[in-house]
């Protein structure tokens, strides 16, 4: 048993400050345990969103020592003994109170993405090699840490122009689905703002599910956008063969 | 709560609340890429000491001066050097590296950027040109074929008495071989190649052709997993190969014959 100091943001959209709390800690504790102990013994009104405490619900996202993390997956013994641990709400979204932020913008973005739409001629027999890529994306727990750390949203506040890495993953899961019949590349290029991503891979670094967001979702989608809009050889080929030229039904055309 | 919550929204270059040495990686990248850039530019301008015995510096490959007997008013390294430079410059890994280290956009994850810049990402000039990466890959593959030829040639020494070509292994032969292997590992783990060989397909099991492309995609994906490592190793080996040939040619280093 030892004592650690936690510096936790207390406040709301009107303002706030860091407040120090000393907590008796035991081996194996995570940051969320410490926050719960503070709620129980020192600050019953400390607001914190959490649910499963098993890194599967994506609720307890916060910035621990300045890095976006799940509080339930951040062990105290990851930090040097004696170091004060700071806990702040995620920065990219408006604060409601203390450690709780309003992430509803993400749900609005989600509504803009056309859902899974099977091909007319879909053969509903699927093989594992077709599903491996998509299954990786299905691991997403919507903690929005990738959205928080993405500098396009966090530093440049381009929420009106860029969907963010979480929704690049969602679009990838649909675009790479063997039975899906829609083409969302035009949507990605325009409303989705995929060109704003400059591949700095911070989203991949913070993902608690170890989804290779940049390499397996964003870059392959960027390459599909290149196929459609920037590669002159492919554009000529499509024109000659009567293939999809990307302008037939903006963003929502049936795949060949 | 009367205090401002500006502690949650600090802005400005380098502003962050991280406790780790986040600045170390961009600093090392800056020094590594910057050092290579300065050295390779200097080496390309020299136009001399680029070959020794059967060894040819990768900066001067293909040796068109020898092939065609043409003479150039400038160092002929520049005739082809823009190809690997463009390939690396538009590479998805290097983009991450130099956007962080040189453009500070951002310098690190959850770290502040210079204030007051209009951000356009890769939607406007010049960064929209990153989309030509696949074309640089095509051209770089041709250069790579010449480098393989040079590496093989590096094992065939001219006998000074008989004038015959003889198979030997010098340290330089191995330097050139390791270099071309590292360059191949880097080139064939390219994200654009991964897309073109199979990643663009939605169904890997639908046709025999798709099943073959799935295997190719899997192979490229294995290399792609370590694309960053291949990028750095090959950057070092290509620079070292030039240094080795240059110093042998200048008589400062002496190539050791192993076999």
At A25, which CATH number?
Answer: 3.10.20.30
What does the pLDDT look like over A162-193, one tens digit per residue? Answer: 999 999 999 999 999 999 999 999 999 999 99
User: Best mutation site among B94, B101, B119 for testing chain A: the one with the most A CBs within 10 Å?
Assistant: B119
Asked if residue A250 and residue A123 are part of one domain, the reply reads yes
> How many beta-carbon pairs under 8 angstroms link A with B?
160
Asked if residue A30 and residue A67 are part of one domain, the reply reads yes
pLDDT of B44 reads 96
pLDDT of B12 reads 86
Residue of B nearest to A198 (CA): B121
Asked if B8's CB is within 8 angstroms of A88's CB, the reply is yes
Give the CATH number, domain containing residue A183: 1.10.1060.10
Q: How many domains does chain A have?
A: 2
What does the pLDDT look like over B147-159, one tens digit per residue? Answer: 999 999 999 999 9
Asked if residue A109 and residue A74 are part of one domain, the reply reads no
Domain residues for the domain of A44 are 2-101
Last residue of a domain, one of A78, A101, A124: A101
Asked if residue A202 and residue A170 are part of one domain, the reply reads yes
pLDDT band at A244 (very low <50, low <70, confident <90, very high): low
Asked if residue A112 and residue A33 are part of one domain, the reply reads no
Last residue of a domain, one of A38, A69, A101: A101
Residue A195 DSSP symbol: G
Asked if A65's CB is within 8 angstroms of B96's CB, the reply is no
**Residue A151: φ, ψ to 5°:** -70, -20
Residue B62 preceded by cis peptide, ω within 30 = yes
Residue of A91, A155, A201 lying closest to B113 (CB–CB): A155
Last residue of a domain, one of A101, A130, A165: A101
A residues 13..52 contacting B (CB < 8 A): 13-18
pLDDT of B2 reads 37
Asked if residue A154 and residue A95 are part of one domain, the reply reads no
Are B13 and B114 a contacting pair, CB within 8 Å?
yes
pLDDT > 50? residue A247: no
Asked if residue A221 and residue A130 are part of one domain, the reply reads yes
Asked if residue A173 and residue A117 are part of one domain, the reply reads yes
Are B242 and B58 a contacting pair, CB within 8 Å?
yes
Whole-angstrom distance, CA of residue B89 vs CA of residue B37: 11
Asked if residue A53 and residue A132 are part of one domain, the reply reads no
- In sequence order, the β-bridge partners of residue B52 are B55
Residue B36, burial from CB neighbour count under 10 angstroms (0-12, 13-18, 19+): middle
Asked if residue A178 and residue A55 are part of one domain, the reply reads no
C-alpha distance from residue B200 to each of A74, A175, B102, B125, B194 (Å): 37, 10, 32, 26, 8
Least confident of A251-255, B213-217, B236-240: A251-255
pTM of the model: 0.94
What is the interface pTM, i.e. ipTM, of the complex? 0.94
Asked if residue A191 and residue A94 are part of one domain, the reply reads no
CA dihedral over B75, B77, B83, B85, signed as positive or negative: negative
pLDDT band at B245 (very low <50, low <70, confident <90, very high): very high
pLDDT band at B69 (very low <50, low <70, confident <90, very high): confident
Chain B residues with beta carbon closer than 8 angstroms to that of A231: 131, 134
Asked if A178's CB is within 8 angstroms of B202's CB, the reply is yes
Asked if residue A126 and residue A165 are part of one domain, the reply reads yes
Asked if A180's CB is within 8 angstroms of B109's CB, the reply is no
């Amino acid at each position: 048993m030892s004592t650690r100091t936690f510096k936790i943001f207390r406040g709301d959209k009107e303002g706030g400050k860091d407040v120090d709390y000393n907590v008796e800690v035991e081996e194996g504790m995570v940051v969320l345990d410490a926050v719960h102990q503070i709620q129980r013994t020192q600050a019953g009104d400390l607001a914190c969103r959490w649910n499963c405490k098993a890194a599967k619900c994506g609720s307890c996202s916060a910035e621990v020592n300045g890095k976006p993390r799940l509080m339930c997956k951040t062990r105290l013994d990851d930090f040097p003994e004696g170091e004060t641990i700071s806990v702040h709400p995620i920065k990219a979204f408006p604060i409601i109170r203390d450690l709780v932020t309003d992430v509803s913008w993400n749900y609005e973005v989600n509504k803009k993405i056309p859902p899974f739409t099977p091909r007319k001629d879909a053969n509903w027999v699927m093989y594992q090699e077709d599903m491996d890529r998509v299954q990786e994306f299905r691991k997403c727990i919507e903690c929005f840490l990738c959205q928080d750390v993405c500098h396009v949203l966090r530093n440049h506040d381009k929420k009106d122009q860029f969907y963010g890495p979480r929704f690049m993953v969602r679009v990838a899961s649909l675009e790479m689905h063997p039975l899906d019949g829609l083409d969302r590349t035009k949507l990605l290029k325009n409303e989705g703002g995929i060109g704003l991503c400059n591949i700095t891979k911070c989203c991949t670094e913070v993902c608690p599910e170890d989804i290779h967001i940049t390499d397996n979702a964003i870059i392959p989608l960027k390459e599909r956008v290149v196929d459609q809009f920037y590669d002159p050889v492919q554009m000529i080929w499509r024109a000659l063969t009567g293939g999809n030229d990307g302008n037939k039904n903006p963003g929502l055309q049936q795949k060949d | 709560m009367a205090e401002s919550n500006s502690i949650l929204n600090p802005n400005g270059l380098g502003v962050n609340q991280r406790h780790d040495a986040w600045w170390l990686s961009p600093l090392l990248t800056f020094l590594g890429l910057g050092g290579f850039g300065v050295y390779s530019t200097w080496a390309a301008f020299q136009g001399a000491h680029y070959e020794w015995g059967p060894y040819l510096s990768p900066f001067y490959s293909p040796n068109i001066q020898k092939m065609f007997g043409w003479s150039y008013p400038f160092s002929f390294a520049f005739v082809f050097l823009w190809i690997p430079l463009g390939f690396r410059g538009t590479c998805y890994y290097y983009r991450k590296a130099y956007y962080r280290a040189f453009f500070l956009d951002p310098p690190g994850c959850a770290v502040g950027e210079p204030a007051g810049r209009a951000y356009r990402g890769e939607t406007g000039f010049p960064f929209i040109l990153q989309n030509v990466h696949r074309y640089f890959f095509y051209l770089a593959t041709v250069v790579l074929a010449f480098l393989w030829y040079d590496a093989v040639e590096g094992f065939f020494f001219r006998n000074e008495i008989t004038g015959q070509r003889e198979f030997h292994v010098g340290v330089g032969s191995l330097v050139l071989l390791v270099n071309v292997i590292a360059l191949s590992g880097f080139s064939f783990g390219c994200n654009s190649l991964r897309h073109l060989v199979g990643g663009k397909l939605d169904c890997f099991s639908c046709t025999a052709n798709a099943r073959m492309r799935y295997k190719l995609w899997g192979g490229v994906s294995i290399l792609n997993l370590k694309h960053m490592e291949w990028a750095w190793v090959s950057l070092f080996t290509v620079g070292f190969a030039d240094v080795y040939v240059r110093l042998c040619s200048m008589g400062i280093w002496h190539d050791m014959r192993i076999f």
